[in-house]
Amino acid sequence: GIQVEQSPPDLILQEGANSTLRCNFSDSVNNLQWFHQNPWGQLINLFYIPSGTKQNGRLSATTVATERYSLLYISSSQTTDSGVYFCAVVGYSGGGADGLTFGKGTHLIIQP
Amino acid sequence: GAGVSQTPSNKVTEKGKYVELRCDPISGHTALYWYRQSLGQGPEFLIYFQGTGAADDSGLPNDRFFAVRPEGSVSTLKIQRTERGDSAVYLCASSSQVGAGTEAFFGQGTRLTVV
């Protein structure tokens, strides 16, 4: 099945800093989503972005499908941005399985 | 409802017991998914429903796990003869259309602890 690698695994930043999180995937995709898992375990949808660029406030994301990677940018970090960020994909050649394959996540800590 | 709802939030059960976990998807969503998340890992796919039928159950770990969606809305994940290794957070998601190219939305999960 498709493989998803996220980097870095851990990131500690001061409030106000900017960050870039990366997601590499091993095959063509027809679904790519970024999630933020808050300390209570809830997966919050950030972006549905199988290709192209989107922005939502301080967050933006870019997926370059032909090169099999996606980037999540967080600007002017706030302590509430802390948590785990997951990239999840569905590959074209999934053999009929339409479930998302998740990476292991990036654990982000924003210090005041 | 406004979002995906899962009950109970937490479940503690003894090894060998039977448990049922419920998922109420977003109203009108056709597709429903179950995932399992172990500590420090990303969620792993278990089973996917299109309407009432299980379109793909390739992620179920063994035959102790079973899921139903009899009326195409609410789904129940059933685990027989629970083992300590089944302890995890079980997540449910739904999307508005069948097919892979559709955004999925997750519930808050059920934390299952087998003692």
Which residue segment(s) compose the domain that B62 sits in?
5-114
Identify the pLDDT of residue A93. Answer: 66
- Are the C-beta atoms of residues B5 and B24 closer than 8 Å to each other? yes
Residues paired with residue B88 on neighbouring β-strands, in sequence order: B112
- A4-93: in CATH 2.60.40.10: yes
Which residues of chain A neighbour B106 with C-beta distances below 8 Å?
A: 35, 42-43, 45
State the CATH number of the domain containing residue B81.
2.60.40.10
DSSP state of B80: -
Interval B8-21: pLDDT, tens: 999 999 999 999 99
Identify the pLDDT of residue B115. Answer: 97
Interval A6-62: pLDDT, tens: 999 999 999 999 999 999 999 999 899 999 998 888 999 999 999 999 999 999 999
Interval B19-69: pLDDT, tens: 999 999 999 999 999 999 999 899 999 999 998 988 889 999 999 999 999
Picking from A4, A41, A45, the residue whose alpha carbon sits closest to that of residue A25 is A4
Nearest beta carbon to residue A98 from set B99, B105, B108: B99
Identify the pLDDT of residue A92. Answer: 76
Phi-psi region of A83 (alpha: psi -120 to 50; beta: other; left: phi over 0): left
The string of DSSP codes covering B34-63 is EEEE-TTS--EEEEEEETTEEEE-TT--ST
Q: How many domains does one find in chain B?
A: 1
